Structure 1
């Protein structure tokens, strides 16, 4: 255990890990404000939002459309473009780790990622890939890091001072353009969410295995800052969800709907409390068990958006992204929740979430509202949340110990 602790602490103090950590520190306030703006816009000011429907905010709140517009602008310029800031940050801090000029490296990293994500519309109108901008942080970190390393490698060369800047920029632009060409082909093959068609065409058991597998894949990709097949909010508009809702409306309940195991009935209803990895459980575990002031402060700031399933601030602030300490619970906790919920559904102890829920409905309430107010479903959600907090507990303590050990190594 001590060897693992020492190794983790040493890795944490490497130049790359330090640059990534500093980048996340830079991005945290951007993502936090974006999370607040997204929550206010879609949950409070949208007529389909949870709080808006509960209190009728859209009917009596003055200037709701104007404020919603402002929140939308902030959201689109923060969360929807977060990878762009990540490319600049990692390039800047990588250069700083090697005691080189950070501003030039940061701009080169920014330029490289703009070129990679560029996708012009008809008539040559500038446009950028929404996927790469909002869900491509992993790619942004890779592009920014290598752009920075290439840029600073020329600073110690014997060539003319002007060429020390022009040559790396030219090489980076050329390589980025080639990556752009490759990305255009790959993005045409976007990972599709075949849940509805698979569920409709296969047996319930195969559908269950598929949903569990896609749920695990979604959380792994989320941990890697890449959007997964279940990353979006439940829509209740796919074939399986529509079939379930029609059956529930005909019979007056959702006990015997045709498609019991879907992303909506399992993943979104029981495995997405506070966002990917059951983030609300991690927040609670940190507030109860962690001794680190910074971690607790991040959790306090992140509570508001996390209640409405917005996990972005926590992913960067702790950070959870690329953090091996939290990888295991980040995957196991949602998987455990889905398996338990599937058992309860198969035994007919709880009905299936078949009714649509408002945007931003708090995670533990999705199944409750989706089953038209079944109290056992709500109790199950609360029970799972308690178990989830207990699962995160030892990993929170381990994270504290690694941070403490890393500080000791750094001092030595």
Structure 2
């Protein structure tokens, strides 16, 4: 296989194999695979709820669900509970799993592994508290909104911190002397230190750690809608997603106003002269996020085109339905794309190519800009077509960009599969 990969492919494969063998990365990958079934179930529930049962959903509108479905309110509530009970706890799950997998190789005792995970959860919760409830001596309130998909990165950091610390503690204890007093003393010390760090953060910062990261990711883009801004936003969104900060990144200020003005111009005047043809919505949201940020629908197609990796193809089938609705979390976590050095390059490059091409076509007036609002779950390949009222040029541009993105992903998906196979026969964490 090596002779067919090329020089770049060999370098990336070798680097990815070394990367996967790293103890920290190995624990993260095991943790991502552990929580994948929960993320898949939660995403499917969220997909059905948002696209089939909500009035803003694509299938609710196109299939007239309200006319033939019963007990919609109860179904919404039930699926909302399923989604909240899985996706809403993603950061907690990943924190627990990373810490456990780091500790597992150094101790055969289940109690030590579980305690490492429990301590990690407590540390994560200490960084996600309502500031006023702590400083005002009120009952402590937890910030549950920061514990979902957007909190994966913080959860990984806390899991690594606690897992490595607990691992060090176990390595410096003698198995024959690991008495109850030692365990209680070590755990108490860890809890006091980690809670102290959380208290320092709460006392000096006005937001949680996860909210601070999201705020940093949004600040640069109160700027005009030029190509540099669009490319920068695409790079930022892709980097955040690759690091595990999933979910939407806030758009440039004024997006809703501009969208309303575009729609009003189309409804009030003949022709298709809109005041804001180039915005984040008309370029990035419509053309560069087919299947979700990262053009992951193209990633899915590349997976089906690469035949030698059975696991990749099986993962593709698992993630097919949510990806078609632009829900990309299962594919990013299950493959995984998150923290994958090989897939980082196409994950950033494919959207940038789409942004540049779409911007050029809009500026040259080769395609009309999207003006009509799009329902949640609208298939990515149809967003430009429906948003322009049925423009064939917009549909053709979407198809061309999906094809280009698939071609970009294809060799990297093949190389990622080779690297995965190289490490798949190595001993797993016991």
Fold match (TM-score > 0.5): yes
Matched residues, number: 403
Aligned partners of 1:219, 1:196: CA distance in 2, in Å?
15
Residue aligning to 1:102: 113
User: Paired residue for 1:157, among 156, 168, 173?
Assistant: 173
**Retained in 1: the 8 A contact 2:316–2:331?**
yes
**Retained in 2: the 8 A contact 1:83–1:137?**
yes
242-251 or 387-396: which moved more? Answer: 242-251
**Retained in 1: the 8 A contact 2:227–2:356?**
no
- After TM superposition, the structure 1 = structure 2 runs for residues 102-121 of structure 1, keeping only pairs within 5 Å, are 102-119=113-130
**Which string of whole-angstrom CA distances, capped at 9 and with x for unpartnered residues, describes residues 354-401 of structure 1?**
111111111111111111111111121112111211111100110111
Residue aligning to 2:3: none
Residue aligning to 1:359: 376
- After TM superposition, the structure 1 = structure 2 runs for residues 263-342 of structure 1, keeping only pairs within 5 Å, are 263-342=280-359
1:218: Cα distance to partner? 0.8
1:41: Cα distance to partner? 0.4
Give me the TM-score of the superposition, normalised by structure 2. 0.86
Residue aligning to 1:27: 35
Do the aligned partners of residues 212 and 7 (structure 1) sit closer, same or farther apart at CA in structure 2, a change above 3 Å counting? closer
Do the aligned partners of residues 302 and 54 (structure 1) sit closer, same or farther apart at CA in structure 2, a change above 3 Å counting? same
**Retained in 2: the 8 A contact 1:45–1:68?**
yes
218-227 or 313-322: which moved more? Answer: 218-227
Do the aligned partners of residues 197 and 4 (structure 1) sit closer, same or farther apart at CA in structure 2, a change above 3 Å counting? closer
Counterpart secondary structure, 2:215: coil
Do the aligned partners of residues 194 and 126 (structure 1) sit closer, same or farther apart at CA in structure 2, a change above 3 Å counting? closer
Q: Does 1:166 align with 2:184?
A: no
Aligned partners of 2:359, 2:173: CA distance in 1, in Å?
62
Do the aligned partners of residues 226 and 313 (structure 1) sit closer, same or farther apart at CA in structure 2, a change above 3 Å counting? same
**Retained in 1: the 8 A contact 2:255–2:281?**
no
Counterpart secondary structure, 1:70: helix
1:239: Cα distance to partner? 1.8
Do the aligned partners of residues 5 and 198 (structure 1) sit closer, same or farther apart at CA in structure 2, a change above 3 Å counting? closer
Q: Does 1:247 align with 2:265?
A: yes
User: Paired residue for 2:61, among 47, 53, 66?
Assistant: 53
**Retained in 2: the 8 A contact 1:154–1:168?**
no
Residue aligning to 1:198: 223
Aligned partners of 2:222, 2:250: CA distance in 1, in Å?
17
**Retained in 2: the 8 A contact 1:11–1:17?**
yes
Do the aligned partners of residues 363 and 78 (structure 1) sit closer, same or farther apart at CA in structure 2, a change above 3 Å counting? same
1:98: Cα distance to partner? 3.1
Aligned partners of 2:299, 2:197: CA distance in 1, in Å?
40
Gaps of 5+ in 1: 200-205
Aligned partners of 1:211, 1:234: CA distance in 2, in Å?
10
1:113: Cα distance to partner? 0.5
Counterpart secondary structure, 1:377: helix
1:237: Cα distance to partner? 6.2
312-321 or 59-68: which moved more? Answer: 59-68
**Retained in 1: the 8 A contact 2:12–2:342?**
no
Aligned partners of 1:111, 1:271: CA distance in 2, in Å?
38
Residue aligning to 2:406: 389
**Retained in 2: the 8 A contact 1:87–1:110?**
yes
**Retained in 2: the 8 A contact 1:109–1:144?**
yes
Aligned partners of 1:407, 1:381: CA distance in 2, in Å?
37
236-245 or 379-388: which moved more? Answer: 236-245
User: Paired residue for 2:244, among 206, 225, 228?
Assistant: 225
